Amino acid sequence: MRSPAARATLLPVADRRQRWQSAAERAADLAWPTRPRTWRDLPTRLRGTLSEVLRLTTAAVLSWLLAWQVTGTKYDLTSSLTALLVLQASAYSTVRMGLLRVGAVLTGVLVAVGFSTLAGLTWWSLGAVIAASLLLAKVFRLGAQALEVPISAMLILGVSAPDLVAEARVAHTLVGAAVGVLFNFVLPGAVPNRRAGNEVLRVAYAAAECLDGASRTLAAGQVTRRDLSEWAERARSVSGPLAVASRAVSQVEESRKLNPRALGTRSVEPVLRSGLDRLEGCVIAIRALFVVLMQELPDETPSAEQRPDRPGSPAYDEDARRAFAVVLDDIADCLRGFGQLVRAEAEGNLEEAERAMASSLEILRETRAILTELLMSRPSSDAGLWLLRGSILAAVEQVLVELDLERRFRQREEWQRSSALTLPRLTGLEVRLPRSRRAR
């Protein structure tokens, strides 16, 4: 058994180790918020990825083998490329994707064959082929396949026997498109529920990271205008993950059309969309909070006699500043918990996520009550300070409204009633949140 002196010597080492571990966990959450939390979850996560890799690889190799048998040309990989591109589309849009791909290749081939018979390969014919191909792609509205027109044209223009190569390229494209369409109906891809849920969770973690940084700065000491600018910029950067998540959620409903794997399953798009809307509302409230702080922060640090209760001033009550830092930290925890809740709703694993969310919201409400008591107990004749306090609490309250678990519970009940298949109901979930206090 170690002596008290030895234990005291080991305390700094343990403290440093804990800080490093916390920093590593935060970095891992930021880089991969959807990572498996236990080794038991790893096979489940890998199964979907490995099956999709096997499906795409098989389709690409099979299309190349078929094209080789049809054309006798094995050095053209257009069939494999076309099959992969077509397979990226959903079963509903895969036919349109295949037709666009074939149309783009045919357009480029015709342009190249026409120019090759007139002038061959010169600097001006190359430029004319590229320009004509891009213009025709716009006329035919080929969309994402527009660049395939000049690519095909250049490949055909640069060979010595353009007619033969043109025939082989068209044949390879047709084989690849056919294999891609066939695979999407015979072996369709999974509905990307997990990917959409992960993107929603990534939004929650990105928003939480904004508040984590602000909380650490507030807990460390005074706040400067530069700090507030960095917080606001980080909050604005969440728009990127929001847009990505919105597209991923839209793809969930699109991928269910004409997909046999979606038969007998419920659509989780309403759950994911409503959760993403709530997170977007939270991000807007966070931005508003940072803007108010930036507007109200004085250009120069006031003295203790002039402004005794300005946030960031030396005389500002340290307890209030630290309490507000705790509020931001708790909001960050709630955002992460809400993201996990939405993803769990989409996957049907709800009990643990909702229990954690209820606990986080209770902690946040208690901390907000402490902050309100500290701020409102210090009267001031400066009206701007009262507006600042009200704006801060209004922004925090807006986050609470967006993350309200009771409201989310009612929305889930409505979704259950309107869905053809019901979600597994929770056992023992109380709509009223517990009143337990967190030990400080």
User: Is 110 within 8 Å of 140 (Cβ atoms)?
Assistant: no
Distances, alpha carbon 372 to alpha carbons 149, 294, 302, 310, 335, in Å? 64, 20, 23, 15, 21
Residue ranges in the chain whose pLDDT is less than 50: 1-2, 7-8, 10-11, 301-316, 379, 381, 383-387, 420-440
CA nearest to 269, candidates 243, 251, 242: 251
CA nearest to 84, candidates 189, 156, 14, 196: 189
Q: Which amino acid is residue 41, in one-letter code?
A: D
At 206 the pLDDT is 92
At 7 the pLDDT is 45
At 202 the pLDDT is 92
Buried b vs exposed e over 353-384: b needs ≥16 C-beta within 10 Å?
bbbbbbbbbbbbebbbebbbebbeeeeeeeee
Write phi, then psi, for 38 (nearest 5 degrees): -135, 160
Token output for 400: 């609470």
Write phi, then psi, for 421 (nearest 5 degrees): -115, 140
Q: Which amino acid is residue 90, in one-letter code?
A: S
How many Å apart are CA 415 and CA 187, to the nearest integer?
Answer: 30
Q: What contacts 110, CB < 8 A, 6 or more positions away?
A: none
Q: What is the largest CA-CA distance in the chain?
A: 95
* 3-class SS of residue 377: coil
How many Å apart are CA 267 and CA 244, to the nearest integer?
Answer: 19
Global pTM reads 0.62
Token output for 406: 């009771």
Token output for 28: 């891992």
How many Å apart are CA 44 and CA 393, to the nearest integer?
Answer: 42
Residues carrying CATH 1.20.58.220, the chain: 191-418
User: Is 215 within 8 Å of 239 (Cβ atoms)?
Assistant: no
For 191-418, CATH gives 1.20.58.220
Q: How many CB atoms lie within 10 A of CB 191?
A: 22
